[in-house]
Structure 1
């Protein structure tokens, strides 16, 4: 993953402020935590690069979401697909209905896109681990939004891997 970390550093992630320090530090924490919770390399790499196209909650793109080839070449097709879906997710229209619909509202195309069965848990786990990291790094955010995420992630329990469910309970207890 050294090549991916070098790519992130070349795009200035070490200088971008983020709860807990820098965007680079956050991305590494998400990747490491996904690995510690049993996810394979593709999901870990998606965690490491999850903000590459920007997100609904962090509007800084490291690369244009319409030019997917370079990131695919760097991290692989499966990881890039997960990163693209994560970046495209319009949270206000996706998160509350995700357990029922298993679809992501794409903020770039304004369409609902079904998640393939094999991506439902990785998508949900990545989303949760990202938010848990932010909550742990910034007590003010945790105080303001902890209850919201506790309720949301409880509703997502059927989508989450068992280790991520346990992590939610540990962090949001």
Structure 2
């Protein structure tokens, strides 16, 4: 996790923004740390730390305007920033159901573009989504009791996209099963 990214998060007020389980900054740090504990490569860990910079379909607060993407890329690298954008751009309702399918459509909520991401992009997206959601489930018992079943239903079809450590965490937190 880069110092420059943490400086940008502080400057954007992430430690002042409420989020399930505390502040947005605390959640972002935990998400990056969870990905690191699963053995994710550095770009994905950095994307976990910064995944909400542009807001998301589930958390609309943006810390940085899209026209300032180059600043985030400067802080965390172009690959990690591209992962942040990809994650933030997801139209969840349209994209989640087909994520595990090679021909599943991913819809960019900013541009309306429909695409079929390659396997690596889908794996990164799934891993980051699982880390994000499971962090919230762990630190916010009300979230877990209300959405645990939904998360299990969402993540089970994504099993082929997830690393073994991520899948084990799904089993531990939401009771996901292999079949």
In the superposition, the TM-score normalised over structure 2's length comes to 0.92
| Cα deviations by residue, 1:94-130 (Å, 9 ceiling, x for unpaired) | 1111111354211111222232332221111000110
Do the aligned residues in 1 keep the contact of 2:100 with 2:122 (CA within 8 Å)? no
Identify the residue that residue 73 of structure 1 maps to in structure 2: 74
Do the aligned residues in 2 keep the contact of 1:55 with 1:86 (CA within 8 Å)? yes
Do the aligned residues in 2 keep the contact of 1:50 with 1:87 (CA within 8 Å)? yes
Structure 1 CA distance for aligned equivalents of residues 87 and 110 of structure 2: 12
Give 3-state SS (helix, strand or coil) of 1:68's partner: helix
Structure 2 CA distance for aligned equivalents of residues 95 and 120 of structure 1: 10
Does residue 125 in structure 1 map to residue 118 in structure 2?
no
Offset of residue 154 of structure 1: 0.7
| Cα deviations by residue, 1:54-101 (Å, 9 ceiling, x for unpaired) | 000111111112332111111111101110010000111111111113
Alignment size in residue pairs = 173
Identify the residue that residue 28 of structure 1 maps to in structure 2: 29
Do the aligned residues in 2 keep the contact of 1:102 with 1:120 (CA within 8 Å)? no
Among candidates 85, 110, 113, match of residue 111 of structure 1: 113
Identify the residue that residue 151 of structure 2 maps to in structure 1: 149
Do the aligned residues in 2 keep the contact of 1:54 with 1:61 (CA within 8 Å)? yes
Among candidates 152, 163, 166, match of residue 165 of structure 2: 163
Unaligned runs of 5+ in 1: none
In the superposition, the TM-score normalised over structure 1's length comes to 0.95
Unaligned runs of 5+ in 2: none
Q: Which structure 1 residue ranges, 4+ long, deviate > 4 Å from structure 2?
A: none
Distance 1:60 1:6, change over 3 A: same
